[in-house]
Structure 1
Amino acid sequence: MDACRVSSTVEIPILANGQVGTFVSFDGLVPGEEHIAIVMGAQDQEAPLVRLHSECLTGDIFASQRCDCGAQLHEALERMGREGGVLLYLRQEGRGIGLYAKLAAYRLQDAGLDTFEANRRLNFPDDGRDFTAAAQMLGALGVQRCRLMTNNPDKVEALRELGIDVVEVIPTGVYVTAHNQGYLRAKAKQKNHAIKLDVLAEQ
């Protein structure tokens, strides 16, 4: 991971209140994809707030109601706009299977499979992501300890195994729609995401 280094930085105003994010690119990432970091505000030098956000074209850009990705992205940016933090935007569409495969999985979900069953039917893993690049990026930014915004215990475990000390786990909100309850329920039941099932039951 020592080969990774910051390539360039540029400031971009990204929030309605005029908050500016510093977009950071990198050289030497494995496997060489164009992941970026967005650094917001003054950083907690001991353990900055961090979110690993995997790209979701349908949710992040088009506000898809089939997932909670867009809502979590905006929550993280708003909080980091107030408190400072580092958002890693990782090019890992569809939990690492790619956009076209994700859309194919959606068709299978429409036929009754859950999000993980659909991946398996297409001969993909439940989650094909590798967070090595995330640890590289944090290392290049000088972050060795962090407070991680996530409901996903696998992200916590992955960062710790890669040498990043996660000193606190901060759950994100639970964003329920009429179209994503099965998706959220599968993540909670099968992968132990920090999603309270009673919240889903109330919808």
Structure 2
Amino acid sequence: MLEIGLLALATLATGGLIALARTHWHQRHFHKPTPRQHGLDDGTLIRKSHATIAHAGVYSFGTPAKGGESRGFAQLRLEYGDLILQDARSKQLLYFPMMAIQWVSAITLEPGDISAITLHIEREGRWHLLALRLPQMEMTVLVRVLRQAIHSARINIGNLSYKPIGPLSAYYAHQSLQGETVLDQPVELYLLPHLLVVLKGDRVQAKLDISSVR
């Protein structure tokens, strides 16, 4: 049976912001779910197929391992279970299914009443990070949407800030008939508060729920 042998071959940089990778996002056509009921703060329910969250801001899209380019967006909205972002320069629409969001970072405050948040997204077997910088009032709207759609265990908003650990170089390993540990293919380990993700580049090889580990 394979097990993960953790061999630390890289040293983590401490402090600072997470650098996100500049990657090529290929727009695809997705089947849109039917409109859902969305709760409001006053306890009422309204039927919403779409809602505008922010009219402008900055985003970057990448992986845990590679840094990326900050770009402006012209609109961020919710539509049939997707976050949809329009790149300000190319006008391309980028779709991020809410069900694909695996973890939401704590909010950090920046000068000029700007808030920053990072969404960890697993989609089609790949792990990506979407970082957003919005005016604080519009961040409040985004947080409300995220709380309605994502399990509270995957949301770090309102808790102490946590910086994910990794990716750390590691190997799959197995034990030979002679009892020796034999290294297999190299992988990377990426640690979140509730989840250990095994990556090969941006491709997810395995996930281990560690929410009960203390």
TM over 0.5: no
> Per residue, is there more strand in 1 or in 2?
2
> Per residue, is there more helix in 1 or in 2?
1
Structure label with greater radius of gyration: 2
TM-score in terms of structure 2 length: 0.26
